[in-house]
Structure 1
Amino acid sequence: MSPLTYAALAATLLGAAHCSLYNESSVNHTCILDPPVLSCSPGADPLKVDSCCTETFGGLLLQTQFWSTYTGLEPLQRLPIDTWTNHGLWPDFCSGAYTQYCDLNRQYDPVPSPNTTNALPNGTVVPAWKGPSIDTFLKAFGRYDLIDWMNTYWVNQGAPNTDFWAHEFSKHATCFSTFDIPCYGPQYVEHEDVVDFFETAIKWYKRYPTWEWLNEAKIVPSNKTTYSLGDIEKALTKKSGAKPYIGCSGPRYNTTDAGKGSNDTGRTVVSEVWYFNHVIGRPQEGNSVPVNATSNSGCAKSAGALHYYEPTPGSVQGSKKS
């Protein structure tokens, strides 16, 4: 079944605006009293375990990162030095399919993408958020530390960082069972789930220092040297414990001078990595088992076909050029 078919099924079963995936009660969920269960295992059944204490909906977690060379909003928005940036923490179904925008009551994305819950014209429309930017929710909790960190390492391209954060929360966080509103119990304070998700996404991002791991393998950003997909996958698999997905953009290899006459239609500019895990208990604790990527890379597979470009001068934080 395709991801879009799963998304349509999920939207039908759950209802677009329901704030609870499994109708959990709002009593206290003291997860320390329950034995942690591995997501995507037979025991991770919402009829058998507390879905607030075990991830029972989006049990295949993807920690995703970008490699960008510019932001498009310099000098106000720049990239961190010597690190990939955070993209997000995604809850895929155990099959590798996924859904999105699971709770429209927590839709804070000013430019929803896709703009329907199943990414099809017949899906429920995801209304654009017209309220304050999502960082105001963090400020209400005094979490300026999170805002500073996110402005450094969770960087958008072509639009304000806050739009990106709102997109990641609304599209993905609302599809975790463990971030459902009822899971916070009767003392829930509005938007504490937003703070909780951002803290959790940061925790997972920091587990995967992609730039450092590639640097150890002597794979460094360069505008001259090219690399092979297999070498990049090998370096990151060795460090992370499972094979990640490498994403590429740019021209297809067989349209380039280097790939002329080749049948390799893969893209040639390294731009993204996804690390896959099954989680033990709640994602908030960060306990997991790494698993191999469920998606095949669309990058060119020919030897030396990939560019891992240097950031554009003036696009890195601390640089003086505009």
Structure 2
Amino acid sequence: MAFLKRVSLAAALAGTVQASLYGESKVNHTCVLEPSVLSCSSSANAASVDTCCTETYGGLLLSTQFWSTWTGLEAEGQKLPADTWTLHGLWPDFCNGSYTQYCDLSRQYDPTPSPNTTNGLPNGTVVPPYKGPNIGTFLESFGRYDLLDWMNTYWINQGAPNIDLAAHEFSKHATCYSTFDVPCYGPKYVEHEEVVDFFETVIKYYKRLPTWEWLHEAAIVPSNSTTYTLSDFQAALTKRYGATPYIGCSGPRYNATEAGKGSTDNGRTVVSEVWYYSHVVGRPQDGNSIPVNATSPNTSCAKAKGALNYYEVTPGSIQGR
């Protein structure tokens, strides 16, 4: 699918390819014995804390969600859940808002890497397409069929199988967390257990963020006839989350529409995504997060009054119908 592209300020780091971000030992990572350290604080220093117990690499977490109206694979049974935004991922940005990606190509399970190099540029290391069994088979080996069922309900891809999106999110993003490094799992590590751990962690953050319900409380509901204003979305979500998220839009630019003719507002007009930012105490796996405001710019949407469309899901694209 077409993933929203963000401009990286860390192109040099994006080319890093290694099995472990810090070369940690496989032993002595008993995190209950470690101090509770807030990511992106002055204490979250890789030289002074256990990087398996404090997120020191990608300490600005983004829990991201999609609003889609179709999947493109309805004929194969791939549809959207009713009355909910779907899961996109849990991204580890650097504390200054820049980011890296595909940090460990030995754990590259993405069949269609996007971008196709580690920094998205021709001079980056090529990310080879994964040709092995899909990442869902890793969960099956742990007997986690319930997890797979949940993912097929709420972690929905567009134009490709659902499991490909999960594989993309693990390969591009999970490998750039210090706390999901393989050595952190100790000498009895079982292959792919960090994949299960990451998926469970992503879901933990997603389930705390009922975007559809928060918007519904503010009388913001999907409609093919009513239009909305960005500030209303921002107010509703900020009130419930405790910090201002990023709201992403796709579709035509407002000043390219008939309604926006002559305007200088070139923001997009179709609401499609939200990113909730946070810092985390200790490991992301523990879920001890603190909401923070999105970095600037905090939207790609048009700001004009009534400029935004929050479309209804196509009836034939809804699960159970």
Settle same-fold status: TM greater than 0.5: yes
Matched, 1:236 2:237: yes
**Gapped runs of 5+ residues in structure 1?**
none
Aligned residue in 2 for 1:215: 216
**C-alpha displacement of 1:262:** 1.1
What is the CA distance between 1:5 and its match in structure 2? Answer: 4.6
Contact 1:3/1:99 (8 A) holds in 2: no
Show the 5 A alignment for 1:80-229.
80-229=81-230
One-letter code aligned to 1:7: A
Answer whether contact 2:14 2:101 (CA < 8 A) is retained.
no
* Matched position secondary structure for 1:194: helix
Match of 2:3 in 1: none
**Cα drift, residue 10 of structure 1:** 4.6
Stretches (4+) displaced over 4 A: none
Q: 1:60: which partner in 2?
A: 60
Tell me the amino acid that sits aligned with residue 301 of structure 1. Answer: K
Amino acid across the alignment from 2:314:
T
1:7 is the counterpart of 2:11: yes
- d(CA) in 1 for partners of 2:193 and 2:296? 33
Q: Normalising by structure 2, report the TM-score.
A: 0.96
Q: Is the 8 A contact 1:244 1:276 kept in 2?
A: yes
Alignment partners' CA distance in 1, 2:226 and 2:8: 38
Would you say the 8 A contact 1:28–1:186 is kept in 2?
A: no
TM-score when normalising by structure 1: 0.96
Q: SS where residue 315 of structure 2 aligns?
A: coil
Partner Cα distance (1:316, 1:10) in 2: 38
CA distance in 2, matches of 1:173, 1:108: 11
- Residue 308 (structure 1) aligned to one of 288, 307, 310: 310
- Distance (whole Å) between structure 2 residues aligned to residue 107 and residue 299 of structure 1: 33
**Count of residues paired in the alignment:** 314
2:43 is the alignment partner of 1:39: no
What is the identity, as a one-letter code, of the residue corresponding to 2:10? Answer: Y
Asked if the contact 1:28–1:184 (Cα under 8 Å) also holds between the matched residues in 2, the reply is no
State the partner residue of 1:71: 71
CA contact (8 A) 2:9 2:99 kept: no
State whether residues 13 and 100 of structure 2, in contact with CA within 8 Å, keep that contact through their aligned partners in structure 1.
Answer: no
Letter of the structure 1 residue corresponding to residue 219 of structure 2: K
Cα distance, 1:258 vs structure 2: 1.2
Q: By how many angstroms is 1:295 displaced?
A: 3.2
Matching residue's letter, 1:217: A
Q: Return the offset for 1:257.
A: 1.4
Whole-Å separation in 2 of the counterparts to 1:23 and 1:115: 25
Amino acid at match of 1:242: A
Aligned position for 1:287: 288
Whole-angstrom distance in 1 between the partners of 2:170 and 2:29: 22
Cα distance change on mapping 1:272 and 1:135 into 2, 3 Å: same
Q: 8 Å contact 2:64–2:275 — kept in the other structure?
A: yes
How far the C-alpha of 1:80 sits from its partner, in A, is 0.3
Corresponding letter in the other structure for 2:73 = L
Q: Sequence identity, in percent?
A: 74
Q: CA RMSD in A?
A: 1.0
Cα distance in 2, alignment partners of residues 10 and 305 from structure 1: 36
Give the distance between the partners of 1:89 and 1:28, measured in 2 at CA: 27
Compute the displacement of 1:288 (Å).
Answer: 1.2
Structure 2: unaligned runs, 5 residues or longer: 1-5
**Matched residue of 2:263: which SS?**
coil
Equivalent position SS for 2:316: coil
| Corresponding letter in the other structure for 2:171 | S
Question: Are 2:113 and 2:129, in contact at CA under 8 Å, matched by a contact in 1?
Answer: yes
Structure 1 counterpart of 2:118, one-letter code: T
